[in-house]
Amino acid sequence: MRFGYSERCLAHDTGERHPETADRLRAIRRGLTKRHGVEYVEAAPASRDAIVAVHDDGYVDELEAFCADGGGNWDPDTVACEDTWDAALTSAGLSQWAAREALDGPNGRGTPFALGRPPGHHAVPDDAMGFCFFNNAAVAAQTVLDGGLAERVAIFDWDVHHGNGTQDVFYDRGDVFYASIHEDGLYPATGAISEIGTGDGEGTTLNAPLAAGAGDVDFLHVIDEVLAPALDRFDPDLLIVSAGFDAHRHDPISRMRVSSEGYALMTDHVRTIGTDVGADVAYVLEGGYGLDTLAEGVSMVHETYDGRTPIEPDDGPDAKTETIAEDLRSRLDLS
Ligand SMILES: [Zn+2]
């Protein structure tokens, strides 16, 4: 894979004992040093215009002033320092790079993965929250739409938390499909199965809130039975994966049971969907708070694109997952 990476993202300092630290990127880099075919690309920070294409001017001004003033606690979870402004613009810039690179560049081994932080998927148009300041995946999607590089973009969010911010940005839009698999009841408590979009966006939001304890086969079941037919119908030019690794069974902040192999399997199935629907695929880092499991998850995505075939599980999904998938197929009229 080609990894978008910038040292500027390390300067976003959240202080002691915060789970979202620069060590996350360092651990990913360390994990990737043992693999071959890894290439790093530095990207320019996003422009203010690209940010305000999905965020309100007033919020962007407020954040810039907050950082210039030294930062602090934006809210109890979301901490900024002076360098956060530049890191957040850079993180968004890396995701723009990934989206453009996917559409322009070679597929397969050259598939791009933006390793930025702060993460983005909780950032709503007018506020930072959940460790996120700018919605990197949303900025990337809007950039390629505004640039005429794509007519329709899909975002698939496999982070264990619901990407409420990404959903909010595109909830009434027919040109962006947002799909999330997340742990039911976890922060920020949005992403109910009934949230399917509104107006022109009705039917272009898909939420699978799986029960705590769900694992590889449950995620794969939703991907194969709901996401695949939904994207086949939506026909995106680009598929952005909001790739968090906090659904891992050893992640400290969730109760899901995805294995490292599960991330390889999800990657493999997502790649197949991309090929089947004719969409290029780009990966954008979201959460993942166990340093070892985060590094392993990213490595699994890379290895899958580097030619490793993951081992398919031989068990089936939980009955609760099957019920959710059936419900979604009927709500989105996929049957
Ligand atoms: Zn998360």
Using the mean position of ligand 1's atoms as its centre, give its distance from the Cα of residue 253 in Å: 8
Q: What is the mean pLDDT of each run of 10 residues along the chain (335 residues)?
A: 97 96 98 93 97 98 98 97 98 98 87 98 98 98 98 98 98 98 98 98 98 98 98 98 98 96 98 97 98 98 96 95 98 92
Query: Most distant CA pair in the chain: distance in Å?
Result: 55
Instruction: Compute the distance between CA of residue 142 and CA of residue 175 in angstroms, rounded to an integer.
Output: 10
Query: Which pLDDT belongs to residue 105?
Result: 79
Query: Which pLDDT belongs to residue 1?
Result: 95
Using the mean position of ligand 1's atoms as its centre, give its distance from the Cα of residue 148 in Å: 31
Token pair in block for residue 143: 């950039």
Q: What angle, rounded to 10 degrees, do the helices at 260-277 and 291-305 form?
A: 40
Query: Which pLDDT belongs to residue 159?
Result: 98
Query: Which pLDDT belongs to residue 108?
Result: 80
Query: Which pLDDT belongs to residue 19?
Result: 97
Using the mean position of ligand 1's atoms as its centre, give its distance from the Cα of residue 163 in Å: 8
pLDDT above 90 covers a percentage of the chain that reads 97
List the strands of the sheet with 153-157, edge to edge: 39-41, 2-4, 112-114, 280-285, 238-243, 153-157, 176-183, 205-210
Query: Which pLDDT belongs to residue 212?
Result: 97
Q: What angle do CA 189, 118, 151 make, to 5 degrees?
A: 80
Q: Is 182 a catalytic residue?
A: no
**Mind listing the pLDDT tens digit for each residue in 84-117?**
999 999 999 999 999 999 999 777 889 999 999 9
Compute CA distances 334 → 175, 229, 230, 313, whole Å.
18, 7, 7, 25
Q: Give me the phi and psi of 36, to 5 degrees please.
A: -100, 170
Q: Of these residues, 121, 122, 182, 269, which one is catalytic?
A: 122
Query: Which pLDDT belongs to residue 69?
Result: 98
| Cα dihedral: 242, 193, 289, 82 (round 10) | 70
Query: Which pLDDT belongs to residue 109?
Result: 86
pTM of the model: 0.98
Using the mean position of ligand 1's atoms as its centre, give its distance from the Cα of residue 72 in Å: 22
